[in-house]
Amino acid sequence: MANLRFEVVAEAFRKKPLEVETPKERPSEYFGKNVFNRAKMYKYLPRDVYEKLIDVIDNGARLDRSIADAVAKGMKQWADENGATHYTHWFQPLTEGTAEKHDAFIEHDGKGGMIEDFSGKLLAQQEPDASSFPSGGIRNTFEARGYSAWDPTSPVFIIDDTLCIPTIFISYTGEALDYKAPLLRALHAVSMAATDVCRYFYPDVKKVTSNLGWEQEYFLVDESLYSARPDLMLTGRTLMGHDSAKNQQMDDHYFGTIPERVQAFMKDLEIQALQLGIPCKTRHNEVAPNQFEMAPIYEECNLAVDHNMLLMSLMKRVARKHGFRVLLHEKPFAGINGSGKHNNWSLSTDTGILLHGPGKTAEDNLRFVVFITETLKAVHSHNSLLKASIMSATNAHRLGGNEAPPAIISCFLGKQLTEILDKIEHTDEGNSLLVGDKQARKLNIPEIPELLIDNTDRNRTSPFAFTGNRFEFRAVGSEANCAAAMIVLNTAMAEALTSFKQRVDALIAEGTDKTAAILTVLRDDIRASRPIHFEGNGYSQEWVEEARRRGLDTETACPRVFEHYLHDHNVDMFEAMNVMSRAELAARNEVKWETYTKKIQIEARVLGDISMNHIVPVATNYQTQLAKNVEKMQAVFGEAEGKQLTERNVKLIREIAERIQKIETYVEELVEARKKANRISDEHLKAIAYCDTVAPKMEDIRYQIDKLELIVADELWTLPKYRELLFIR
């Protein structure tokens, strides 16, 4: 009987690229085709309604519910013209995914028939069952009421036959049960605080916007091979698998020619994403085999988060159409790069980017240094909380390995900015502040023009690095909702800027010159945030020890990292900035601990099942074949010569027996550890037990299985190996 593994591998290799129909229009012409954007609002809404809605979007004006009916009517007309028959409130519960319930555009007509209708009431809010989503105890089964409410700042869009309306999701008692509601609060807080500080330099600034440019890394695996790996199907990662002899050590995949099947997938994905208003800009091979990246142009933070969540969902649909499965797990394969989602973050006004330097005047440069310094202050004050915002059961596998930044939050600035901050801290020369522009570098190759060299290098081991006009938060995980990190970062920045202004204003009130007051507070904050500033190798053990001496958080265990959400100074920040209450934070932590436990629990059950029902029988079968060979060789050559000729097989039989015995013992211990942990009622303590006692047993089992994979005859091994999973084109 042929090994099914060989059949699915052969099938994967035979697949050809799918033909993708290219739109006749240019991308700029079909961009936003399926989005109710400003141009469509202008076309389908009455002029006064359009102006009121734009005022809400641009200036944060309070939404007048009286215009909801007119907006709903215009949306419905546009949706009808584009074949939509249903609508849904599209929201982001605490599941790391999105949720939607589709309703048809129909109502009773009072005459025994029906009419197609969509009212402002249906647009503005709906009532999903709040007890069926993670709530951390805020909602129980007998307390099911929750509300989704329209977010007019993120445009509605059409997928297939459904009009999707971005919404927040809150409980009946008002607590946020999603990511969007606290994100919007955080964005409002940072806008208010940053605008106040901006007015020291630009009195006419009306609003500050937080911008986000995410870079989505992902793996593609052939669907037939994916289906032959129960661990990939059920957990998103390979729970076992020995390294391929060739993986990424030749550095030949990064920025290499995109494989044809992948190119077809990317093209299809890009077209659909552009039609949904996602401004896709970049696509390329990443470092690990079968790893790729897509990145858009910068957008306002709330919209960027929505677009990333939409894209991840879209990727999965398009991949299946092309015979692939997308893996968004941060570490689906051991021993090679994992996948992150670098969050490039900046602040901008209606006149420019606040983190962009250099300026044309000393005042511009002072503004630049203020916002750089207060970012450092925010990251230093809440470095443990920032780590908690990006930590998960899946991202923990990635952090600190194969180019992913370590689980210690530090900031990289580069030589020039470091020197400038040192100068401000130690001298009185701040009034003549100079920040260098990009420098030209000649290459002495006549055909190549001069390169403009940035005033900072890059440090790939830094979790939070300044990269020219933005900070790159590189520690965010591939499958995470960007909002989690952006909520913390923007809230911490709002707190830092609020404190900065209060202290500067106090000095000015005492008679200090404005510039002198700003420089005085700057010096204090530069000194206070010095521990977070690190330019060296984040992978070194010396840095771990140095980080501890500096008072930075070096914890790596997920359940313990999550505890920082409930530390008093973090709770105080969230409450002072009106982003989340202690009750909301406590509920979210309950969800985080429970989610962590469930993910490890599922992995443990899957690994136990595969070990006993796949690995042990296959290894035993091979052991039996070897034993029969030994027996027959001795029958042919005699006992003495037969023993000599089969010495290697006897050693293999013994090794297989020892490893099988260890696997069986470890699986029993794994089951017992899980049972013991499951008896703990407190979600926090249960998560710690799973982290400390269950997860390590899985690594012990994996080690034995990976060794068996090298021993057992290839024709008997039933599960696709790394060399097959990672190199299908």
Secondary structure class of 204 (helix, strand, coil): coil
Burial of 671 (0-12, 13-18, 19+ CB in 10 A): middle
Instruction: Quote the CA–CA distance of 36 and 53 in Å, as a whole number.
Output: 13
- pLDDT digit string, tens, across residues 252-308: 888 889 999 999 999 999 999 999 999 999 999 999 999 999 999 999 999 999 999
Q: Taking 80 as the threshold, does the pLDDT of residue 124 lie above it?
A: yes
Instruction: Quote the CA–CA distance of 412 and 460 in Å, as a whole number.
Output: 10
Distance of CA 430 to the CA centre of its chain: 39
- pLDDT digit string, tens, across residues 567-622: 999 999 999 999 999 999 999 999 999 999 999 999 999 999 999 999 999 999 99
pLDDT of 467 = 87
Secondary structure class of 61 (helix, strand, coil): coil
* pLDDT more than 90, % of the chain: 71
pLDDT band at 423 (very low <50, low <70, confident <90, very high): confident
Amino acid making up residue 101: K
User: Smallest Cα–Cα separation from 100: which of 212, 214, 178?
Assistant: 178
DSSP string for residues in 594-648: HHHHHHHHHHHHHHHHHIIIIIHHHHHHHHHHHHHHHHHHHHHH-HHHHHHHTHH
Q: Taking 70 as the threshold, does the pLDDT of residue 633 lie above it?
A: yes
Query: Which has more pLDDT, 352 or 334?
Result: 334
Range name among 225-234, 408-417, 589-598 with the lowest pLDDT average: 408-417
Amino acid making up residue 258: I
Distances (CA, A) of 218 to 224, 303, 311, 376, 618: 18, 21, 12, 30, 32
Q: Taking 80 as the threshold, does the pLDDT of residue 84 lie above it?
A: yes
Query: Which has more pLDDT, 4 or 334?
Result: 334
pLDDT of 252 = 86
Region 370-386: mean pLDDT is 96
pLDDT of 435 = 47
* pLDDT more than 70, % of the chain: 94
Q: Which residues contact 349 (CB under 8 A, 6 or more apart)?
A: 195, 198, 202, 205, 206, 207, 208, 209
Do residues 444 and 358 lie in contact, with contact meaning Cβ atoms separated by under 8 Å?
Answer: no
pLDDT of 142 = 67
pLDDT band at 99 (very low <50, low <70, confident <90, very high): very high
**pTM of the shown model:** 0.94
- pLDDT digit string, tens, across residues 181-192: 999 999 999 999
How many Cβ atoms are within 10 Å of 74's Cβ, its own excluded? Answer: 21
Average of per-residue pLDDT values in the chain: 91
Distances (CA, A) of 535 to 413, 414, 417, 547: 7, 7, 11, 12
pLDDT band at 358 (very low <50, low <70, confident <90, very high): low
Instruction: Quote the CA–CA distance of 557 and 182 in Å, as a whole number.
Output: 26
- pLDDT digit string, tens, across residues 428-471: 644 445 444 454 444 343 443 443 435 555 677 889 999 888 99
Range name among 22-36, 371-385, 448-462, 681-695 with the lowest pLDDT average: 448-462
Number of H helices, E strands in the chain: 26, 19
DSSP string for residues in 115-148: E----HHHHHEE--BGGGS--TTSS-TT--BEEE
The two structure tokens encoding residue 384: 């443990």
User: Smallest Cα–Cα separation from 303: which of 75, 58, 627, 613?
Assistant: 58
15-29, 221-235, 627-641, range with greatest mean pLDDT: 221-235
Query: Which has more pLDDT, 398 or 136?
Result: 398
Q: Taking 80 as the threshold, does the pLDDT of residue 360 lie above it?
A: no
Angle at 26 between CA 21 and CA 28, to 5 degrees: 125
